[in-house]
A and B are shown apart, each in its own frame.
Chain A
Amino acid sequence: MNNPYFDLLMWARGPGFDIALTIMVGGILLRLVEIFVLGRKKDLAAPKGNGVLQGLRTVFTRSVPRKGAMKEAPVTYIAGYLFHIGFFVAFLFLGAHIALIGDLIGIQWPAANKALIEIATAIAVVALIALLWTRFKDPVRRALSTFDDYLVWVLSILPLVTGYAAVNTMFGDSTLMMAIHMLSAEALMIAFPFTKLMHAVTFAVSRYYNGSIQGRKGAES
């Protein structure tokens, strides 16, 4: 074991990961508290529909685009779906990831084969490139984009690319590549609570509010 990068990998797998996980979990909780302490006033208008039920339903139904919406922003929608699906397949079904999560929370599930993981990774990377392209090219998206959007883009693509490279021993030393992969994932975890990555948690809260506000009125959401 005289690979010069071994110590780095060990650090990334050990203390590095622990630090990142602590910041991520603690940060998410803090951000959620920050939201919920603001509270919301009780709605005194007599309800016409069931807000709670529709709120819960909207958490799921909003995952499907409204009729006709897809064709208005095809790149954003299609690449958006492909990225999320690709990223989660690669993240949740790679054997090594499952082992890691298993260590943390004690549950396991079957891994997917290598080819599927690689296809998913490639799809996610291509989708991210398409999303960046539309962010540059489309005036609405360009105007909306801030440093946060580009930072999150970089932080999202790095674990995908470095993971692929490490598994396939591309770009030189595989120990170094694996260490970089872990560090990039940790950077993503650390940034999570402080960037728009938070949407991965708060989307459910927002959709619930949206659905419950509309639902009380007997309106669709």
Chain B
Amino acid sequence: MSASLEKGLNALREQIDAPVASFFTSCVSCGICAEACLFYQETGDPKYTPIHKLEPMRRIWSNEFTLLGRAKSMLGMGRKVTEQDLADWEELVYDSCTMCGRCTLVCPVGNDITMMIRKMREGMSASGNAPEELVAGAKRHWEKGSPMGDLLPALTAHVKNVEKSTGIQVNVDKKGVDYLVILSAQEVAVYNEVIEALARILDKAGVSWTFSSEAFEGTNVGIQIGSKDLAREFVSRTVNAAEKLKVKGVISPECGHAYQALRWEGPNLIGRTYPFEVVHVIELLDRLRADGRLKTKGMDHAKLTFHDPCQINRRGGINHEPRRLLNMVADNFTETEDAGTMNWCCGGGGGVGSNESATELRLQAFQRKKRQFEAVAPEKIVTMCAYCHHILEESLEHYDMDIEVQGLTELMAEYLEDA
């Protein structure tokens, strides 16, 4: 057995806990999870059945963690997991799973399949079977501070521009303010309008905040690739900065897996609770709305719809907040079918969007979303994840659909009461 296979198998063994054992024990192979998965739905290929994506991990559990399996193994029965198996499963574990969480919500016996995919990726990356794009992204993240390279010069330039155009002072590395604002790499590099939007909203609401020159973006390739060591390092950067600046809270950006990484996995990765609160930016805006500190004027009359980012709604619990905000500023807001908790994924989450080999499949999987958008025929799609934003734009363009995509924070800032 090669060293890398052994490493991978050990990483998988380490991931098998009581929930995993219970899930594998409970599976009745009813196939209902397939119906929830965009990759199976849009291709009709049974290999994309969610539980099947976990077959190597299931086999390890069966061979080594069950009585009957151990007996069989002693008799030389029971199929072992080979190097080839892991190589074959790369496509299933990375290219055809966005960790969207739909399967987890339909499985009749209650299996959290998505959580197991996250675990399975630990074994895949440890055995050297992670997609090369994610590995390269992780390397850039490690060395240059973000998967998109060194973004500090870009951020510094945006800060200057925002100060000039709004007259609002944007703090960098300021101690003792309420919040440390984290962005997603995508926002710093492409959708930087959000910085001005946020500066204006928070200024109006009287919220004090700062950027940190040491940690300003929340992307976490470690989570996508499935390496808890990398993930821990990336989360630590933000935690350290927040502790150094002694902020009360950290604002998680419009980015699905950044929220997942910072809010839910983070404390478990570093092995302790945070001395500060993590709040998603949309959660915060909704709180400000409830407190009367976010006031808007006028209404967007365009027909618009909302795209729920899986990691923020289905797997993050933020469902009603964006809708309350949208209804404040839009009077022609129409939901797509399945909107809310069971919304369909844009197809690019969980690292899928950066895997070259997944592009064709992901665009095919996007057809579900496409049909739902066509049924509503909106002029604008609003979302709260910069990566969904990017994937939506790319996919809409691929299908020659001319619909604008906008981040919710930006939309809210457009209607901010200026008095």
Where the two chains meet, the residues of A that have a C-beta atom closer than 8 Å to any C-beta of B are 30-31, 34-41, 43-46, 48-49, 58-59, 62-63, 65-69, 72-73, 76-77, 80, 138-146, 149, 194, 196, 198-199, 202-203, 205-211, 213-214, 217-221
Contacts and interface: CB of A to CB of B under 8 A. Distances in A.
Contact of B109 (A140, A194, A206, A214): A206
Contacts of B341: 219-220
Contacts of B40: 140
A149 B29 contact: yes
Contact of B32 (A44, A76, A219): A76
Interface residues of B, number: 62
B22 interface: yes
A76 B31 CA distance: 8
A68 B338 CA distance: 9
A77 B30 CA distance: 9
A51 to B, nearest CB: 11
Contacts of A62: 107-110
Q: Please name the 8 residue pairs, one residue from A and one from B, whose CB atoms are nearest each other, closest first.
A: A207-B110, A218-B317, A219-B317, A44-B267, A72-B35, A210-B110, A206-B110, A144-B29
A19 B67 CA distance: 19
A196 B28 CA distance: 6
Interface stretch (B47-55, B130-138, B154-162, B381-389): B47-55
B263 A210 contact: no
Contact of B264 (A37, A45, A68, A208): A45
Nearest to A217: B317
A220 B264 contact: no
Interface in B123-179: none
Contact of B268 (A38, A45, A207, A219): A45
Nearest to B44: A139
17 contacts: A30-B67, A31-B67, A34-B21, A35-B18, A45-B267, A46-B267, A46-B277, A65-B106, A76-B32, A194-B67, A205-B22, A206-B19, A206-B23, A206-B25, A207-B110, A209-B18, A210-B104
A97 to B, nearest CB: 24
Contacts of B18: 35-40, 209
A139 B271 contact: no
Contact of A143 (B16, B47, B107, B317): B47
B78 interface: no
A40 B112 CA distance: 14
Contacts of A140: 31, 34, 40, 46, 49
A202 B110 CA distance: 10
Contacts of B115: 213
Contacts of A211: 110
Nearest to A72: B35
B399 interface: no
Contacts, number: 174
B201 to A, nearest CB: 23
B20 to A, nearest CB: 8
A142 to B, nearest CB: 8
Given A35-B18, A44-B268, A209-B110, A220 B26 contact: no
A58 B108 CA distance: 10
Contacts of A199: 25-28, 109
A44 B272 contact: yes
A119 B278 CA distance: 57
A31 B21 CA distance: 10
Contacts of B315: 214, 217, 219
B53 to A, nearest CB: 12
A221 B263 CA distance: 19
A219 B400 CA distance: 34
A66 B30 contact: no
B111 interface: yes
A41 B20 CA distance: 12
A59 B109 CA distance: 9
A44 B268 CA distance: 5
B48 to A, nearest CB: 9
B198 interface: no
In this complex, the member of B25, B110, B316 whose beta carbon has the largest number of chain A beta carbons within 10 angstroms is B110
B119 to A, nearest CB: 12
A34 B111 CA distance: 18
Contacts of A207: 109-110
A199 to B, nearest CB: 5
B403 interface: no
Given A146-B29, A206-B22, A38 B264 contact: no
Contacts of B268: 41, 43-45
Contact of A202 (B25, B66, B274, B277): B25
A218 B22 CA distance: 23
A35 B25 contact: yes
B1 to A, nearest CB: 24
Interface in B46-70: 46-47, 49, 51-52, 65-68
Contacts of B273: 44-46
Nearest to A203: B109
Contacts of B267: 44-46
Nearest to A33: B67
